[in-house]
Chain A
Amino acid sequence: MKHGFLDQYSDLDSLIHRLDPRTKAITTLAFILALVLTPPTRWYAFALYFALIALVVLLSRLPPLYVLKRSLVVVPFVLVIAIFIPFFKQGEVAGSYNIWLWQVNVTYSGLIVLWNVTIKAWLSVMSMIVLSSTTKFSELLKGLERLRLPLVMVMILSFMYRYMFVVVDEALRMKRARDSRNFGGKHIWQLKTVGNMIGALFLRSYERGERVYAAMVARGFDGNPRTLSHLRFQMLDLYFTACFLTSLAMIGTTILLGWGA
């Protein structure tokens, strides 16, 4: 079965796709760093950050709607965590409501925290989506490795990428086998079956782990990961990094000068 939920669109061709994965990893990191350091009340700055990402999305030829949709997936999670902050944070009251027996206050400082968390999470995720949709996962791994991420971590990520799909296929096959035997009945009984399936999946993965390790040892693996890399920076990487970092610096300057505050 084919799955593309991780690096879908990564085999398109565009300016952004052609960049070295290291360039993209570093600029994404710089972007997120700048974002996190921006005070939440500099509204302008966030509009500019958004514009910057939008520009990169345009250059990358990714369908904008796709990027938007995927990025919205995280918003509920963030909201669940942050939605109560406005009610509990002390400060100037923005609104007061009576819910049954309680009087509930919403404070301005609480609302700002909520905004801060949501907008930063959303923009960060959007930048990660652009990164992962314009870079093949294998290339990204090579890039991270060259950026001196510990090789063991790179290997773990690479196994995750390689076997995620295998495990998903296995789970789908088990589900199909279950469904075809007319799985139904009481709820509690269903839960038990699902539990068994998870257990079986875990065992199979564990056994596969042993076999994969044997296959690695058979080819001379001695615990020290070694790989070969073909990555090479081009002029394009220089231009892109320069433009991107300059844009970030300009946004930073507007923040320091206090515009839009």
Chain B
Amino acid sequence: MEKAIQIENLSYSYPDGQQALKDINLSIEVGETVALVGPNGAGKSTLLLHLNGILRSDGTVTVLGVPLDNKSLKWVRSKVGLIFQDPEDQLFSPTVFDDVAFGPINMGCSQDEVRRRVSEALEGVGMEGYEKRSPHHLSIGEKKRIAIATILSMEPEILVIDEPTANLDPRAKGELIELLQQLPMTKIVASHDLEAVKALCQRTVILDEGQVVADDSTQSIMSNNPLLEGHGLAPRSGSSLKLKA
């Protein structure tokens, strides 16, 4: 079966010399939901930005069998939908409609097609009727949903989400997890919210200091406490903060 995403020997340094990724190798099957976990600064966001060519460097990224290069860039971006951590960055238009329509318009869809996709995407995230609202006046939970709709309207085959549950209250978080569970496409979720990861992903990849340090089923990784502790994903044993089991 064709891989959804295949990453080979990917390294990346920011222009200021900070090495964020070191020799990453990773492959993700079509239909999988994979968590990318790791402490702050591990390189999760940097890796996600490589998946649709926002950042490029040596090493290869192959999407649905097509190597990412200048020629395939536009196609890859229509297949890989990237949802940024801060919806304030993702929603840059004066109205919700304009924002959800932005992707399809850039893809060259016809007017009717754009309208159809916008209303379907908003329906998909349970936000019908918000077309004319200004993103600024929405709650964080609503903004997150609209941010997802801006990607769904492009009808991507792979959904890449950075910290979906950051800043959400428990109810909004639960609703968002439910929403993500219902989306059928291949998903890659970067997070250090282990609760959300357990609910969403069958497979977990741990990233630390720019390297893949573990790649296994979520279940076995979550039960390996020393591993989690070693990479800043659980409080140190002996720490007074440790949660009672």
Contact of B54 (CB < 8 Å), options: A162, A166, A208, A214: A214
A221 within 8 A of B: yes
Please determine whether B95 and A138 come into contact, CB atoms closer than 8 angstroms.
yes
Residue total for A at the interface (Cβ-Cβ under 8 A): 28
Please determine whether A228 and B54 come into contact, CB atoms closer than 8 angstroms.
no
* CB under 8 Å from chain B, chain A span 8-60: none
B33 within 8 A of A: no
Question: Residues of B contacting A161 with CB < 8 Å?
Answer: 94
Q: How far is the CA of A220 from the CA of B81 in the complex (A)?
A: 10
Question: How far apart are B112's CB and chain A's nearest CB, in angstroms?
Answer: 10
- Can you name the residue of chain B whose Cβ is closest to the Cβ of A164? B136
Question: Residues of A contacting B89 with CB < 8 Å?
Answer: 208, 211-212, 214-215
With contacts A208-B89, A212-B92 taken as known, whether A226 is within 8 angstroms of B82 at the C-beta atoms is no
B134 within 8 A of A: yes
B49 within 8 A of A: yes
Give a binary string over A213-228; 1 marks a CB under 8 Å from any B CB, 0 the rest: 0111111111000111
Question: How far apart are B118's CB and chain A's nearest CB, in angstroms?
Answer: 9
* CB under 8 Å from chain A, chain B span 87-107: 88-95, 98, 101-103, 105-107
Best-surrounded residue of A159, A163, A216 (most CB of chain B within 10 A) = A216
- Can you name the residue of chain A whose Cβ is closest to the Cβ of B96? A138
Question: Residues of A contacting B54 with CB < 8 Å?
Answer: 214, 217-218
Q: How far is the CA of A216 from the CA of B102 in the complex (A)?
A: 8
Please determine whether B135 and A221 come into contact, CB atoms closer than 8 angstroms.
no
- Can you name the residue of chain B whose Cβ is closest to the Cβ of A158? B94
With contacts A217-B54, A220-B77, A220-B78 taken as known, whether A228 is within 8 angstroms of B92 at the C-beta atoms is no
Question: Residues of B contacting A136 with CB < 8 Å?
Answer: 132
- Can you name the residue of chain B whose Cβ is closest to the Cβ of A224? B106
Contact of B92 (CB < 8 Å), options: A2, A141, A216, A222: A216
B236 within 8 A of A: no
B171 within 8 A of A: no
Best-surrounded residue of A158, A163, A215 (most CB of chain B within 10 A) = A215
Please determine whether B94 and A220 come into contact, CB atoms closer than 8 angstroms.
no
Give a binary string over B148-169; 1 marks a CB under 8 Å from any A CB, 0 the rest: 0011001000000000000000
B137 within 8 A of A: yes
Give a binary string over A113-133; 1 marks a CB under 8 Å from any B CB, 0 the rest: 000000000000000000000
B84 within 8 A of A: yes
A-B contact sample (20 more), CB < 8 A, given A220-B103, A228-B101? A2-B137, A137-B94, A138-B132, A138-B134, A158-B94, A159-B92, A166-B136, A212-B92, A215-B82, A215-B89, A216-B92, A217-B77, A218-B84, A219-B103, A220-B106, A220-B107, A221-B106, A227-B101, A227-B105, A228-B115
Q: Which residues of A contact B (CB under 8 A)?
A: 2-3, 136-138, 141, 158-159, 161-163, 165-166, 208, 211-212, 214-222, 226-228
Q: List 8 A-B contacts (CB under 8 A).
A: A137-B94, A138-B93, A166-B136, A216-B102, A218-B82, A219-B154, A220-B107, A227-B101
Q: Which residues of B contact A (CB under 8 A)?
A: 49, 52, 54, 74, 77-78, 81-82, 84, 86, 88-95, 98, 101-103, 105-107, 111, 114-115, 132, 134-137, 150-151, 154
